Structure 1
C-alpha cells in the first residue's frame, strides 16, 4: 500500500472512531451480494437531526472491495471533507444487497440477484423466520 493510500485509510479510520462530534454527519454504508465482500459504498451527509441524507454519493467496485480500495477510500474522505462533516457514522460490515428496491427490482419484492439477503436481517446478519 502506498503512503498516500495509507494516509487516507488512517484519516477515514480516525474520523470514524471519534464518535459523534456534531452535525453535519456523514453516514457510510457498504453493500454486497453477501456478507463477505462489498461491491458498493454509499455516503450521505445529514445536515441536522431528523434531516434526510443530502447529498448522497455512491461508488461501485467490480473487481475490488471498496472497504480496501485506496481510490475509493480517498474519494470517500474527500467527499466527507468537502461537505464539512463533523462526525462519521459507519457500519463495520456489509449491511445488505447493493441493488436498490424500486430501481433495480420492484418495490416490495426481494432482489433476485442477491439470494443471500432474501431472508436475512441486514443489521444482525441472522436469518429471519
Structure 2
C-alpha cells in the first residue's frame, strides 16, 4: 500500500511501542477484508478506564489511503496527548455496529462477508 506523509507518521508512531498513557487505539472496519471504510480512534487516558474520547471517520473509498483523514487522526491524537499508538493495519470487522445498525446477536445484513468469520483472524468459524 502506497504511503503518504501522514500514513508514514502514523505508522512511525505505532512502531515506537509502549510509551505509556494516554494510549490511542486505531481500528479499521469494512464490508469485506479489502476496503476499510471506517476508522475508529479511541484514547485510553490511563489504565483500567474505558476509552474516552472516541472519534469515528467514514469514507466511500479505502480510508487507509486518505491522507486528509489520517491527518485528522494525527491531530486528534495530539490534541489528546497520546503517548502510545496501538494500531492494526488489517480490517477487523464490519463497519456497522451491533445493537445500533442491526439487532444484538445477529449478523450484519449489509456485510455478508463477515457472517461466520472470526474478525481478528479472518477465518471461517
Bin of the TM-score, shorter chain as denominator length: over 0.9
Q: Equivalences for 1:36-115 in 2 at 5 Å? A: 36-62=34-60, 64-115=61-112
Aligned to 1:35: 33
Q: Deviation of residue 92 (structure 1)?
A: 1.9
Structure 1 portions without partners, runs of 5+: none
* Alignment partners' CA distance in 2, 1:12 and 1:89: 10
3-state DSSP of counterpart to 2:65: coil
Q: Deviation of residue 60 (structure 1)?
A: 0.3
* Alignment partners' CA distance in 1, 2:112 and 2:6: 34
Aligned length: 123
- Normalised by the length of structure 2, the TM-score is 0.94
Which of 21, 24, 33 is the matching residue for 2:22?
Answer: 24
* Alignment partners' CA distance in 2, 1:8 and 1:115: 32
Root mean square deviation, CA, Å: 1.1
